[in-house]
Amino acid sequence: MTVIELRKAPLVNDIPGQLRQMADAIEAGEHGDVTTALFLLPVAGDWPEVFGWGDVDGENHPIIQFQFALAKFSHNQMRR
């Protein structure tokens, strides 16, 4: 898993602008062959909303993608 920090315009608090910028970068191939994506939207006082696109081993389910991302993140943290 790679965490990409978005520093270019639009401003960081311009969420729609940042998402458009990320989509442009993916379409331009800047992040390699992107086959799956996960988006978490915080919800005050509740669980975050999870959106997932693409597939993991033929399954298109956001929870599978979230668990995959969590496992990769945890693995990378343990290696530090």
pTM confidence score:
0.59
Partners of residue 51 on adjacent β-strands: 39
In eight-state DSSP terms, residue 6 is -
pLDDT tens-digit profile of 22-63? 999 999 999 998 888 878 888 898 877 777 777 767 766 666
Query: What DSSP line would sit under 11-67, residue for residue?
Result: PTT-HHHHHHHHHHHHHTTTTSS--EEEEEE--TTSPPEEEEEE-BTTB--HHHHHH
Domain boundaries, the chain: 1-34, 37-80
